Amino acid sequence: MTGRRTYRCYNRVFQFLSECIPVMALSRPIFFGPSETDDCWFEESLFAFNLKLKNEVSGRGFVSKLMQNHNLIDNNWNCERCGQQCQLDNIRFVWRCQKKVSIRRQAARRCNSSKSAFKGEWFEQAHVKPADNLQFCQIYLDKLSFSVPFVKREIGWSGGTIVDWASFIREVLESYIAATTNKIGGVEFHVEIDESKFGRTKYHRGRFTTGQWVFGGYCRETEEFFAVPVDRRDSATLLQVIKDRIAPGTTIISDCWAAYNCLSQEGYIHLTVNHTYNFVDPITGAHTNTIERLWRSIKESFSRNGCRKHHYRGYLARFYFLKTYPTLKQRMHTFFIATALLYPPQVDGPPQPPQV
């Protein structure tokens, strides 16, 4: 009997821990906003943040204030009928006019003109709760590894909804990175370049797939990098990417692929390593081990089931974003700013820039 009781006790403890581990894993600190001392921002743990989002009373006010501070929704809106400044309904997220007007000899009544706070913005026609939306953004930007069953258990979304909103987030990241990325390298800087095949079929086994070639570069001194999908690996295609992403005068290190033979004539210092004989050149010490390790990290962040070719830029943008902003505080704040830039609020008059 003692053994059976102990076995049942262990089963209960294991069940309790299995339910608590996902919550315990979200106990790292998170800060929203550019300043930790500003009263309009919030400094909380992820566990407390999730509790506030799920609170039916205070959660809506917390969400609306968070979105207004990051310029995701309008800070004010004037009624189109009477011009009176409207009030935001934190329950339904609707701007509503409360001004009393009188029509002829009738008794005064409220104008009651209304407008959705999400009109023309990222949350328009979302069909999900804003609190759940923000919680999903926090989960999707927290780690490179992303679990659909975990989101189903925490938020209660269907698989199709999760896939759609993950695609929407990658769209914002792709647009923001394309607008803010600068050239890497420069004089006295070393950049390793290489190309890698994603989603290929090995040993002619399993489901056949054509895969996708990705070309990238990594700067040793600044640890900046880029990864761009390319259709071909010829000299014209790769050289155009190199000119767009790497500054002139950079020392470029590559393998002996024939497409790189023209780099010395384009204003770059070119070093090569022949992988047929060694991984580190015995004379110059040139190697591409760093970017080879980068390929491994990028491929681990992709789904094992693969993805379509038109989704590669979004997945690469997510990996670049998570590596560029190491803390969740920076990721959430920068993502909200990027969302406001891509979907600016429809305000009366000139748009207000997001708080940076």
Question: What CATH number is given to the structural domain containing 260?
Answer: 3.30.420.10
225 in a structural domain: yes
In terms of domains, do 202 and 116 share one? no
In terms of domains, do 120 and 240 share one? no
Alpha carbons 97 and 117: distance in angstroms, whole number: 13
| Average pLDDT, integer, range 123-135 | 83
Amino acid at 133: N
In terms of domains, do 328 and 250 share one? yes
Q: How confident is the model at residue 49 (pLDDT cuts 50, 70, 90)?
A: low
In terms of domains, do 288 and 206 share one? yes
349 in a structural domain: no
In terms of domains, do 184 and 140 share one? no
52 pLDDT higher than 70 = no
166 in a structural domain: no
Alpha carbons 257 and 239: distance in angstroms, whole number: 12
Is residue 245 within 8 Å of residue 320, measured between CB atoms? no
In terms of domains, do 234 and 284 share one? yes
Alpha carbons 242 and 290: distance in angstroms, whole number: 18
What is the tens place of the pLDDT at every residue in 216-240? 999 999 999 999 999 999 999 999 9
In terms of domains, do 142 and 199 share one? no
In terms of domains, do 124 and 186 share one? no
Q: Model-level pTM?
A: 0.76
Q: How many domains does the chain divide into? A: 2
What is the tens place of the pLDDT at every residue in 283-319? 999 999 999 999 999 999 887 777 888 899 999 999 9
In terms of domains, do 210 and 150 share one? no
- Out of 157, 172, 190, a domain closes at 157
334 in a structural domain: yes
Quote the domain boundaries for residue 215.
180-341
| Average pLDDT, integer, range 199-208 | 64
pLDDT of residue 101: 65
173 in a structural domain: no
DSSP secondary structure, 298-322, as one string: HHHHS-TT---GGGHHHHHHHHHHH
81 in a structural domain: no
132 pLDDT higher than 60 = yes
* Winning range, highest mean pLDDT, from 60-64, 92-96, 258-262: 258-262
In terms of domains, do 271 and 152 share one? no
| Nearest CA among 126, 133, 116 for reference residue 66 | 133
Is residue 189 within 8 Å of residue 250, measured between CB atoms? yes
pLDDT of residue 27: 33
| Average pLDDT, integer, range 255-267 | 93
In terms of domains, do 231 and 328 share one? yes
In terms of domains, do 200 and 298 share one? yes
6 pLDDT higher than 80 = no
pLDDT of residue 89: 74
315 in a structural domain: yes
Greater pLDDT, 34 or 212: 212
355 in a structural domain: no
Calculate the average pLDDT of the chain. Answer: 78
